[in-house]
Structure formats: structure tokens, C-alpha cells
Amino acid sequence: SYELTQPPSVSVSPGQTASITCSGDKLGDKYACWYQQKVGQSPVLLIYQNSKRPSGIPERFSGSNSGNTATLTISGTQAMDEADYYCQAWDSSTAHVVFGGGTKLTVL
Amino acid sequence: QVQLVQSGAEVKKPGSSVKVSCKASGGTFSSYSMSWVRQAPGQGLEWMGRIFPILGITNYAQKFQGRVTITADKSTSTAYMELSSLRFEDTAVYYCAREKSIRLSQGEVATEFDYWGQGTLVTVSS
């Protein structure tokens, strides 16, 4: 089955740029999306179709996908961005949804 | 605005079953798939399966095949997830999520969950 791999944790200083990666075999040939989940809350869609932002998502969140890696970039990171982030894609061989293991972003 | 409202927390014995509901409002229920995703304490998100209400077609993750049943009642815009033969490790928050899918370039499907329920805690305890 298809697998997505994320680093367990990423740290960033306020105002700096955070990058969270998601790796999978030929992931660049698929469409990745990203979710933010704060403690005790349901996930929120941040990025879909690799780089599109839903209405209401701040412009500091952006996404890219190429080769074997999708990347979520947070520019000018704020304390409120401290959360868990999950990537997700579609496994075309099974029509199943696959999530990465999640990355805890700490804003120091 | 689409809202997904789930049923309340449950405490179940090992070996029993649980059925969680998810009532949708503000959108066209039958036009999208509804998926169920669970999250064990301190763990990540895990996709369980989906239903496409307009056709009644279901699709389950291999891990839950044979133990999970997802149904939908179009008349009340409500989806249900029933998990049987509960084990301690089934203790988790269970979410319903509206799934938007579109087939794009070279046959690949872009799918994302744009609306989520508030989650239902299912505790399996003896």
C-alpha cells in the first residue's frame, strides 16, 4: 500500500519560515493536500491540489509538490501556527486515502 | 455553510459494537462522498472508509474490512459508521469528513476533506 512519510517534529522561530515535508513514491505525480490540527480540535484543510488555498486560509501558507516530496511552507510563522500538520494523498491503486504520520510544529 | 454534527461520546465493552452518526446540513448531501477518519490518543489520522450516498457505494480500508460498515440515509442527510468486535485499541476519536474528489491530469484523482465533524470519542473499556 502507498505510504507517506513526514518528520515527527519541526521547530521554527516566530517570523521565520517553516517547511514541512511529505515523502512518497512518485508523490509529484499525485495531488497532495495538507491539514492543520490544533489540540482538541478537528483538522482544517490548509492546502489542496498541491498548492491551492481554501477561502479563509492566510496567504502565509503555501504548498508545492514535485518528485517524491510535497512541501508545506509557512512564511512569517506565528505562535498561533503551533499545531500538528498532516499531508494526504490518494492511492490510485486502491482508491484509498492515505495520510502522512503528522508533524508537530513548535514555534519557539 | 456546511456543517457536520456527530453523535456523542460512547463507552463500550470489548467485543461489542458502536454506531456513530454524522448529520450534514447546508450542502448537497448526496453529491459528495462521506469518509470516516479516526485518531487514537496521541496518534495520527487514519482513514477508515467512505460512502458515496447517491449510489450507496462503499469503500473500506483493508485494516477495517469486515469490521466496519458505513451507511447513509439520504432522507435525513445522515451518515453512519458502525464498528464491530471492538478492541481496546479502537479507543479513538472518530471523525466524519466530506470528501471532494476530482479526476485531473493523467487520470490521477485529487481528493481532500473540506468539512469535518466535531469528532466522537469512543472508549473501549472493560
The set of cell numbers assigned to B67 is: 469490521
Per-residue model confidence as pLDDT tens digits over A44-89: 999 999 999 999 999 999 999 999 999 999 999 999 999 999 999 9
Distance CA(A46)–CA(A57), nearest Å, equals 6
The fraction of chain B above a pLDDT of 70, given in percent, is 100
Of B76, B72, B79, B66, nearest in space to B17 by CA: B66
Q: Which residues of chain B does A86 touch, with a Cβ-Cβ cutoff of 8 Å?
A: 44-45
Determine the average pLDDT of the residues in B74-96. Answer: 97
Quickly state the pLDDT bin for A5 (edges 50, 70, 90). very high
Quickly state the pLDDT bin for B108 (edges 50, 70, 90). confident
B46–chain A Cβ distance below 8 A for any pair: yes
Quickly state the pLDDT bin for A9 (edges 50, 70, 90). very high
Per-residue model confidence as pLDDT tens digits over B52-84: 988 889 999 999 999 999 999 999 999 999 999
Looking at residue B105, its pLDDT comes to: 73
The SS3 call for residue A79 is helix
A1–chain B Cβ distance below 8 A for any pair: yes
Closest partner residue to B45 among A33, A43, A44, by Cβ? Answer: A43
Q: Which residues contact A108 (CB under 8 A, 6 or more apart)?
A: A11, A12, A13, A14
